[in-house]
Each structure stands twice: as structure tokens, then as C-alpha cells.
Structure 1
């Protein structure tokens, strides 16, 4: 068991050795943080350069794309099978005029025509 303190304890200022150790520790932490930030900015710069290079396409691709067959537009498979409504409604078919069949055609389709 620890005995209780009977007399008041006064603050003891740190010695020169402790102050130097604290300063070195702060310096190490600061330099580590600075190096980490430089590495992070450098990595971001490399990523942006690679993305910029990937965005710039060769001019030959535009010529090949102009000569190639047009691609079919992408459709929604769920709308195609009727599960969900289509995003673009299909055009309504035009009504056709119903004509009455000729009675001669109904009688004998294989008979010679006059």
C-alpha cells in the first residue's frame, strides 16, 4: 500500500536534459509530418499527370471511330422484358386502314385470275 503524501509537493521545473529531449521530439514529429505531406502531394501530382495522359486520346482513334459502323444504342434490359417502364416511350404505331377482302380471293386462292 502507498502511503499518503503528508506535505505539499511543489512543482519542479524540468532540467536542461528534459527540455532538450522535448525539443528534439518536437523537431522529429515536425519533420516527419513535413515529409509525409511532401510525399502525399507528390503522389497526387503523379496521379493527376497519369489521368491527364489517359484523357488525351490519339487523333487516329477519331478517324477509326468515324469509319467504323455505328454502335447500337444501349438499352435497359429490364425495360426490354417489361419489368420496369421504358425511360423513352416507344413511338405509337400508325393505325392501318382495314380493307375488305375481295370475294374472288376468298373463293379459291389457287384459281387463275382473269
Structure 2
């Protein structure tokens, strides 16, 4: 094995922090994806007559939906990720962890996080 490979073992993931990150990412993605569709459905609902208009109005005719659906998705993803990460930690504990190989890039692990711009 090369001396440039740093072998680490993943033993535990913090469920709350991981679930928070996943929930926030999902909420932001839903804002980016969901809001334009809801606005489009709102325009279709307001401007057309017939069956499509009523269905589109149900999905996009409400500012309530535009604001709260990303939040609801975020909460659901938080709960599911919290449960999943807890199960992952249980499995990691039973199996001894996951070995992860990192390539050494010129810094020792003790130097990570230090500000290298300031000469000492």
C-alpha cells in the first residue's frame, strides 16, 4: 500500500446533525424546484377553463402551498434521515465500521483546520 493513503474507519455518524443537513438541503431543493411549478400551476389554474384549471388551482393556487410544502418535506426528510442514521449507527457498531481510504495531500491530520495563510 502506498504511503500516500490514509486509512480511516467510520464508526458513527451524528444522527441529528446529519438529519438537519439533509432536511435543509431538501427544503432548499424543494424551494428551487417546487415553487416554480406551483407558480406555473397557479397561472394555468387562473387562466384556463375546464378540468385542467381546477386541478392546477388545487396544487398551485395557494401561497400556503408554496411556503409550507418545502417545510413539510424538510420535516419529513429530517425524521426519515434521523431514523436511517440511527439504524446506520447500529449497523456500524455491529459490523465494526466502514473502512475509508483517503489520499494524503501534503497535510497531516493534525494540520487540518489550521490557517496556512498566516506565516508563523
TM-score (norm: length of structure 1):
0.29
Structure with the bigger percentage of helix: 2
Structure with the bigger percentage of strand: 2
Q: Point out which structure has higher relative CO (alpha carbons under 8 A, 6+ apart).
A: 2
Q: Which has the larger radius of gyration?
A: 1
